[in-house]
Structure formats: structure tokens, C-alpha cells
């Protein structure tokens, strides 16, 4: 077991889909097998955009249940809900005072909002709440609270981890070495998983396949995948086919090679390819899906796991807060 502490957060802003799973959740589950891991559902980070408690709670359960059902190593992992950790509010608040406003002005997500407003001729701060503006400080607090060494994130979050390093550095300069400097690890690029319409699978395009869609819904979605208009006889390009791109992530090597050959050889219609894809995903996911459904029907079991995680996380967090408070306030 590597002795580095791994930490990451996942925002509960949608029902996890195949793209989220392959791109983000699967690599984390793998990492949890060999590292001491802190993994939390970042419900506070969802708040700047989602103002609906029921929705956040539902997606929190979905993500936790998915991680557990897909084999997250709960021996090595502290799994918890961000908002259950009172120390997070404290550390954010302390860190505000060593974080230059200019750093926040440079954050990609804030800048994107400002630029969009400028393009539309609106006031630059339209739609920007302080949760969005201070998002990187809350994220730095997440990372620094648990002495994290490694923070696996998608490319879009790299800047935030760098900001956490910067903020740790400002603090250490002012108060003496207190925080470790965390390293972002950009998850191996699984490539973008395409959605039903061939664009990146994303909830914003409404083209997703939920990882644990019930069998009949999974089938319906897969049958809706957009293809080109090649006849069954014609040879087809597996590398540009959404069907094949999805299949690759669920089948084994010989199955992948066999389907690739059928695409190239011709003689197989897209309808048949979709059925093959459906049957593969449906069978690979049937056991974890049953576990997911069981957990979603017994959310008190998820609550108990999250409560246990929160207790362990707070044990570490409270020590950090005591240290920071002493340094800042005596
Ligand atoms: P969405 O695009 O549906 O809003 P998010 O932006 O919430 O998804 O993504 C959460 C995580 O899932 C990110 O780390 C991102 O890298 C990963 N992810 C999302 N969609 C895909 C995709 N189509 N292919 C690969 N990874 C993805
Ligand atoms: N901001 C991350 C995202 O949108 C989620 C997140 C919150 C996170 N806190 C974190 C990731 C700390 C890594 C470490 O995906």
C-alpha cells in the first residue's frame, strides 16, 4: 500500500452516467484498492448552482451507492458527505484571510461566467454568487483539511488543485510550515465517452445513459444511439462508432477484437451491434446494479456508511483546525 494520502470530491449534480463512471469514478475506485483515500460527496460545492435540497440529497445517495456497488474499497477509504464536516466551514473561513482576491479573479469557471456576461452585454457579475466566486477556497479547505498528498481530478479541476497549493503556500509563509503541498493527478485520459448523439456524454446535452438505468431503460437508450446510414452489408468504422466506443469499456479484449472485426467485415447492421452492446452492458452491470438498487431502497444503510466516514474524517479535520486556530489566533 502506497502511504500517500489520496483525496477527491465528487459533486452531486446529476445521476451518474456512463461518462462520469468511466472518466472519473472508475479510476477512483481502482485507486482506493492501493491507497488510503478520503472520498467525499461535495454537496457544498453543488450549492452555488443547485438550489434544491431534494435533488442534492438524491444525487448524493446515487453517487455513494454507485461507488459502493462498483467495489470501492471501504477498508482503505473514508467515504463521507462534505457538509457533515463542521471543520470545513471553519477552515474555509480561516483560509479566506490569506487568499488574495486576485487569485479568485483568475479562476477559469468564474472567468468563463464573466466572459459570457460580457459577450451578452450584461453586467459582468450577473449570475455570479459568492459560492461560485469562493469555490476554489472551499476546495482548498477540502484538500488541506486532511493532509492530502495526491488529488486525482479531471483536467478541468487542475487549476483548483494548483490554487490549493498556492493557498497552502501563502499560509505556510505567514505562519510557518503547516500544510503539505498537494499534487494534482490528472486521471489517465480514458478519452471522452460519447453520448447518444455522438457528442461528449454530458447531462448538459441530455444525451446520457445512467450507469444503473434499469434494463428496459438501458435498452431503449442504446437503441436510440445515432449512427450513420450504412447498410448492414457495408464495412463500418469502429473507431468513430459510439456503439463500439461504449462496448470497449465493458467487454474483454477478445470480445472487443471480435466486434471490431464484425464492424470492419460488414454484414452486421447497427441494430445488431446495439443489441450486442446492450447485452454486454446489461450482463456486466447486473450484479452491481442489484446491489445499487438494494442500497437505494435502504438509504439508511448509506447514511450509516457516510456517518462512519464523517466520524473518521472529523477526527483528522479537528486536529488540523486546532493547529490552524492556534497559529492564527494563539
Ligand atoms: P456532465 O458533463 O454530465 O455535467 P460533470 O461535468 O459533472 O458531467 O463530470 C463529472 C466528472 O465526470 C468529471 O471528472 C468528468 O471528467 C467526467 N466526465 C463527464 N462526462 C464525461 C465523458 N463524456 N467522458 C469522460 N469523462 C466524463
Ligand atoms: N470541484 C470538483 C468538481 O467539480 C469537486 C471537488 C470538490 C473536489 N472538492 C474537491 C475534487 C477536492 C478534488 C478535491 O469536480
- Asked if residue 154 has its Cβ within 6 Å of ligand 1, the reply is yes
**Cα separation, 18 vs 211, whole angstroms:** 5
The candidate with the shortest Cα–Cα distance to 144, out of 120, 180, 115, 119, is: 180
CB atoms inside a 10 Å sphere around CB 159: 16
Angle between helices 270-297 and 215-223 (to 10 degrees): 150
The DSSP secondary-structure symbol of 212 reads T
For residue 137, CA distances in Å to 145, 289, 300 come to 12, 36, 32
**Cα separation, 214 vs 152, whole angstroms:** 30
Please indicate, yes or no, whether the overall pTM of this predicted structure exceeds 0.85: yes
pLDDT on residue 230? 96
- Asked if residue 204 has its Cβ within 6 Å of ligand 1, the reply is yes
Asked if residues 210 and 19 have their Cβ atoms less than 8 Å apart, the reply is no
Asked if residues 189 and 23 have their Cβ atoms less than 8 Å apart, the reply is no
pLDDT above 80 (res 1)? no
- Check residue 172 and give left, alpha or beta (phi > 0: left; psi -120 to 50: alpha): alpha
Residues linked to residue 210 through DSSP beta bridges, in sequence order: 17
Which residues fall within 8 angstroms of residue 58, CB to CB, at 6 or more apart? none
Distance 200 CA to ligand 1 centre (A): 9
pLDDT on residue 217? 97
Distance 305 CA to ligand 1 centre (A): 25
- Asked if residue 157 has its Cβ within 6 Å of ligand 2, the reply is yes
pLDDT on residue 105? 97
- Asked if residue 203 has its Cβ within 6 Å of ligand 1, the reply is yes
pLDDT on residue 188? 66
- Asked if residue 201 has its Cβ within 6 Å of ligand 1, the reply is yes
CA of 14, nearest ligand number: 1
- Check residue 151 and give left, alpha or beta (phi > 0: left; psi -120 to 50: alpha): beta
pLDDT on residue 119? 96
Q: Count the alpha carbons within 13 Å of 53 in the hemisphere toward its beta carbon.
A: 1
- Asked if residue 8 has its Cβ within 6 Å of ligand 2, the reply is yes
DSSP codes joined into one string, 93-132:
HHHHTTS-HHHHHT-HHHHHHHHHHHHTT--TTTT--HHH
Give the pairing of strands 150-153 and 77-81: unpaired
For residue 183, CA distances in Å to 17, 31, 99 come to 27, 15, 19
Write the residue with the smallest CA distance to atom 11 of ligand 1. Answer: 20
**Cα separation, 159 vs 330, whole angstroms:** 32
Distance 8 CA to ligand 2 centre (A): 6
Distance 144 CA to ligand 2 centre (A): 13
Helix (H, G, I), strand (E, B) or coil at 80: strand
Of 24, 42, 186, which is best to mutate to test ligand 1, by the most ligand atoms within 8 angstroms of its C-beta? 24
Write the residue with the smallest CA distance to atom 3 of ligand 1. Answer: 202
What cell numbers appear for 27 in the block? 479510476
pLDDT on residue 295? 98
- Asked if residue 193 has its Cβ within 6 Å of ligand 1, the reply is yes
Q: Confidence band (pLDDT; 50, 70, 90) for 2?
A: confident
- Residue 151: its H or E element: strand 150-153
Averaged over 21-47, what is the pLDDT?
94
User: Looking at ligand 2, which atom is closest to the CA of residue 154?
Assistant: 15
Q: Confidence band (pLDDT; 50, 70, 90) for 42?
A: very high
Summarize pLDDT for 263-317 with one digit per residue, the tens: 999 999 999 999 999 999 999 999 999 999 999 999 999 999 999 999 999 999 9
pLDDT on residue 156? 86
Asked if residues 201 and 18 have their Cβ atoms less than 8 Å apart, the reply is yes
Summarize pLDDT for 144-193 with one digit per residue, the tens: 999 999 999 988 899 999 999 999 999 999 999 999 999 999 876 667 89
Summarize pLDDT for 67-105 with one digit per residue, the tens: 999 999 999 999 999 999 999 999 999 999 999 999 999
pLDDT above 80 (res 204)? yes
Asked if residues 88 and 145 have their Cβ atoms less than 8 Å apart, the reply is yes
Question: Counting Cβ atoms within 10 Å, is residue 2 exposed (0-12), middle (13-18) or buried (19+)?
Answer: exposed
pLDDT on residue 41? 98
Write the residue with the smallest CA distance to atom 22 of ligand 1. Answer: 19
% of the chain exceeding 70 in pLDDT: 99
pLDDT on residue 175? 98
pLDDT on residue 187? 72
Of 5, 7, 10, 150, which is best to mutate to test ligand 2, by the most ligand atoms within 8 angstroms of its C-beta? 10
pLDDT on residue 189? 65
User: Looking at ligand 1, which atom is closest to the CA of residue 195?
Assistant: 23
Gyration radius of the chain's alpha carbons: 22
Summarize pLDDT for 117-146 with one digit per residue, the tens: 999 999 999 999 999 999 999 999 999 999
Amino acid at each position: 500500500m502506497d502511504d500517500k494520502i489520496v483525496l477527491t470530491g465528487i459533486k452531486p449534480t446529476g445521476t451518474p452516467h456512463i461518462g462520469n463512471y468511466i472518466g472519473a469514478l472508475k479510476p477512483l475506485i481502482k485507486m482506493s484498492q492501493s491507497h488510503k483515500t478520503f472520498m467525499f460527496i461535495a454537496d457544498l460545492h453543488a450549492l452555488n448552482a443547485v438550489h434544491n435540497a431534494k435533488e442534492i440529497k438524491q444525487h448524493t445517495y446515487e453517487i455513494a451507492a454507485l461507488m459502493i456497488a462498483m467495489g470501492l474499497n471501504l477498508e482503505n477509504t473514508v467515504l463521507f458527505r462534505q457538509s457533515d464536516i463542521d471543520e470545513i466551514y471553519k477552515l474555509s473561513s480561516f483560509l479566506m484571510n490569506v487568499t488574495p482576491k486576485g487569485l479568485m479573479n483568475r479562476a477559469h469557471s468564474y472567468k468563463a461566467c464573466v466572459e459570457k456576461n460580457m459577450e451578452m452585454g450584461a453586467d459582468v457579475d450577473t449570475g455570479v454568487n459568492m459560492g461560485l466566486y469562493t469555490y476554489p477556497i472551499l476546495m482548498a479547505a477540502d484538500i488541506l483539511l486532511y493532509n492530502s498528498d495526491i488529488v486525482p481530478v479531471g483536467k478541468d479541476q487542475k487549476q483548483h488543485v494548483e490554487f490549493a497549493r498556492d493557498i497552502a503556500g501563502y499560509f505556510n509563509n505567514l505562519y510557518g510550515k503547516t500544510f503539505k503541498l498537494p499534487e494534482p493527478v490528472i486521471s489517465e485520459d480514458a478519452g471522452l465517452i460519447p453520448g447518444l448523439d455522438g457528442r461528449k456524454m454530458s447531462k448538459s446535452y441530455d444525451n446520457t445513459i445512467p450507469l444503473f438505468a434499469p434494463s428496459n431503460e438501458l435498452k431503449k437508450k442504446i437503441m436510440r444511439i445515432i449512427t450513420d446510414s450504412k447498410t448492414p452489408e457495408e464495412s463500418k468504422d469502429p473507431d468513430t462508432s459510439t456503439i463500439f466506443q461504449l462496448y470497449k469499456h465493458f467487454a474483454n479484449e477478445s470480445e472487443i477484437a471480435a466486434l471490431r472485426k464484425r464492424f470492419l467485415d460488414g454484414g452486421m447492421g447497427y441494430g445488431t451491434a446495439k443489441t450486442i452492446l446492450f447485452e454486454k452492458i446489461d450482463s456486466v452491470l447486473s450484479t452491481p446494479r442489484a446491489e445499487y438498487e438494494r442500497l437505494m431502497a435502504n438509504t439508511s444503510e448509506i447514511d450509516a456508511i457516510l456517518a462512519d466516514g464523517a466520524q473518521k474524517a472529523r477526527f483528522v479535520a479537528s486536529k488540523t483546525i486546532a493547529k490552524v486556530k492556534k497559529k492564527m489566533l494563539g
